[in-house]
């Protein structure tokens, strides 16, 4: 099966049972339909997104699994961070509905054709999507929460632990 | 306010622990008897918010068997006396927790289980997790640890029973009723005006 795909697409073998295919975003639906018809990579197990803020792209990996669950194929699509939009895969894989909804909430990616992109885990969220790397989590927390007294002594204690251990050792040797 | 500092907090605890200042001395004999019975019958709402919920099945089953202390699990908030907020509490969960709490009949008590309910715990820098549970709900007993063993939870129950029986401090539900504006303001800070029905609507008929 993988031989058939290798004939038509540039597939890279990343590991013994892991293959990778990099494609353009406008050919996504076309290529994935072809893969699901012509090979036994029939299950979409997850959509993983990486935020490459340096290159100003999102890298989305559609991870497909065979019927026997023995091989994985990663189909990578790179899209711009600014106008991030992709066609939905609802017609091919029904389970993509939840995954796309999650990605829409966490990265702000618009999936054209998926009409369930409303609040999922975050309710009443008015900031920029929290898993984008320009979102400063610590600044947000400091602005919106006040901490209980006692939290401020939460410092790096490695040096102090080292000093105490040395002190204990000294006193032990002295005896 | 002196209780905003750590020393002030410790002083306040000492005052609360002192027998002379306790509410017990101002209570009638009937009230004392009612409190004694109440401490021996605590119905816990079967609802787990975070990872601490995994400590509850061993407590209710044969290994630790907390039913010998009069603690029983029930299915709905209307039947429950005790709400255990077990572990981290995200915004979405907190909304459901408040709804459940307001549906419970008085007297009702809240137990905060785990470090996350006290100061955020390991989620102290999370954008979606509350840091201090007592800003939103009146907490009667905190059990620290990440996560606490079932023995710690049992000790928390025993202490709470002791507090109820001896009326050491004012129960949380009375504070929630009297200082409702404070809790409501904190809740609205994160939810906006979407936390309907309001507490006033729930208790509109109670004072008549």
- Which residues in chain A touch residue B131, judged by CB atoms under 8 angstroms apart? 145-148
A141 touches chain B (CB under 8 A): yes
Q: pLDDT (tens digit, 9 = 90+) per residue, B31-88?
A: 888 888 888 889 999 888 888 888 888 998 999 988 998 899 898 999 999 999 988 8
Q: What number is the ipTM of this complex? A: 0.72
Answer with the residue of higher pLDDT: A105 or B197: A105
Q: Answer yes or no: is pLDDT of B192 > 50.
A: yes
**Structural domain count of chain A:** 1
Q: Tens digits of per-residue pLDDT, A112-145? A: 998 888 888 887 788 899 999 999 998 998 888 8
Helices (H), chain B: 6-17, 29-39, 56-60, 91-103, 115-119, 150-166, 172-178, 180-191, 199-202
Q: What CATH number should be reported for the domain holding residue B83?
A: 3.40.50.12280
Which pLDDT value is given to residue B119?
85
Q: Is the pLDDT of residue B10 over 80?
A: no
The phi-psi region of residue B145 (left if phi > 0; otherwise alpha if psi is between -120 and 50; otherwise beta) is left
pLDDT at A156 over 90: no
CB A17 within 8 A of CB A72: yes
B6·A149 Cβ contact <8 A? yes
Q: Is the pLDDT of residue B197 over 60?
A: no
Number of domains present in the structure of chain B: 1
**Å from A154 to nearest chain B CA?**
11
Q: How many CB pairs under 8 A join A and B?
A: 54
Q: How far is A58 from chain B (nearest CA, A)?
A: 22
Predicted pLDDT at B50: 84
A74: domain CATH number is 3.30.460.80
Asked whether residue B4 is assigned to any structural domain, the reply reads: no
Q: Does A145 touch chain B (CB under 8 A)?
A: yes
The pLDDT of residue B208 is 44
Tell me the angle at which helices B180-191 and B91-103 cross, rounded to the nearest 10 degrees. Answer: 150
Residue B76 lies in a domain: yes
Q: For residues A106 and A135, what is the distance between their CA atoms, to the nearest angstrom?
A: 11
Higher pLDDT, B11 or A83: A83
Is B165 inside any structural domain?
Answer: yes
Smallest Cβ distance to A148: which of B125, B132, B191? Answer: B132
Q: Is residue B10 part of a domain?
A: no
In angstroms, the first-to-last Cα distance of chain B is 36
User: With contacts defined as CB-CB under 8 Å, which chain B residues touch A137?
Assistant: 125-127
Closest CA to B165 of B44, B39, B17, B21: B39
Instruction: Give the least confident one: A7-11, A18-22, A130-134, B60-64.
Output: A7-11
Residue A58's pLDDT is what? 92
Which structural domain range is residue B81 located in? 28-195
B208 within domain boundaries: no
Considering the domain boundaries, does residue B11 fall inside one?
no
> Residue A164, SS3?
helix
| pLDDT tier for residue A39 given thresholds of 50, 70 and 90 | confident
Q: Please indicate, yes or no, if residue B153 is contained in any of the structural domains.
A: yes
Contact B135, B185 (CB under 8 A): no
Residue B1 in this model has a pLDDT that exceeds 60 = no
């Amino acid at each position: 099966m993988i031989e058939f795909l290798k004939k038509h697409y540039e597939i890279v073998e990343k590991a013994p049972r892991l293959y990778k295919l990099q494609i353009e975003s406008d050919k996504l639906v076309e290529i994935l339909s072809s893969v699901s018809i012509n090979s036994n990579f029939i299950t979409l197990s997850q959509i993983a997104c990486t935020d490459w803020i340096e290159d100003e792209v999102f890298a989305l990996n559609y991870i497909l699994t065979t019927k026997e669950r023995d091989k994985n194929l990663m189909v990578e699509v790179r899209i711009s961070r600014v106008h991030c939009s992709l066609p939905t895969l609802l017609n091919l894989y029904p389970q993509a509905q939840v995954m796309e909804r999650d990605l829409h909430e966490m990265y702000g990616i618009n999936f054209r054709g998926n009409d369930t992109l409303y609040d999922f885990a975050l309710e009443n969220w008015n900031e920029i999507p929290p898993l984008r790397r320009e979102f400063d989590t610590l600044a947000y927390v400091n602005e919106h929460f006040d901490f209980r007294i006692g939290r401020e002594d939460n410092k790096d204690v490695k040096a102090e632990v080292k000093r105490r251990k040395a002190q204990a050792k000294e006193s032990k040797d002295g005896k | 306010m002196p209780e905003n500092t750590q020393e002030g907090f410790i002083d306040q605890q000492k005052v609360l622990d002192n027998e002379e200042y306790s509410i017990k001395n101002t209570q009638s004999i009937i009230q004392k008897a009612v409190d004694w019975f109440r401490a021996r019958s605590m119905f816990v709402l079967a609802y787990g918010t975070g990872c601490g919920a995994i400590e509850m099945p061993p407590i209710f089953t044969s290994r630790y068997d907390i039913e010998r202390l009069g603690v029983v699990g029930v299915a709905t908030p209307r039947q429950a006396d005790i709400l255990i907020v077990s572990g981290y509490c995200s915004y979405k969960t907190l909304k459901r927790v408040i709804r459940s709490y307001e549906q419970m009949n008085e007297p009702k008590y809240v137990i905060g289980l785990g470090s996350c309910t006290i100061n955020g715990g390991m989620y102290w820098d999370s954008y979606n997790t509350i840091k201090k549970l007592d800003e939103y709900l009146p907490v009667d007993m905190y059990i620290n640890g990440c996560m606490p063993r079932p023995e710690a939870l049992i000790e928390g129950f025993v202490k709470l029973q002791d507090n109820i029986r001896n009326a050491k401090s004012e129960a949380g539900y009375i504070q929630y009723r009297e200082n409702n504006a404070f809790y409501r303001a904190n809740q609205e800070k994160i939810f906006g005006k979407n936390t309907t029905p309001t507490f006033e609507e729930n208790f509109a008929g109670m004072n008549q």
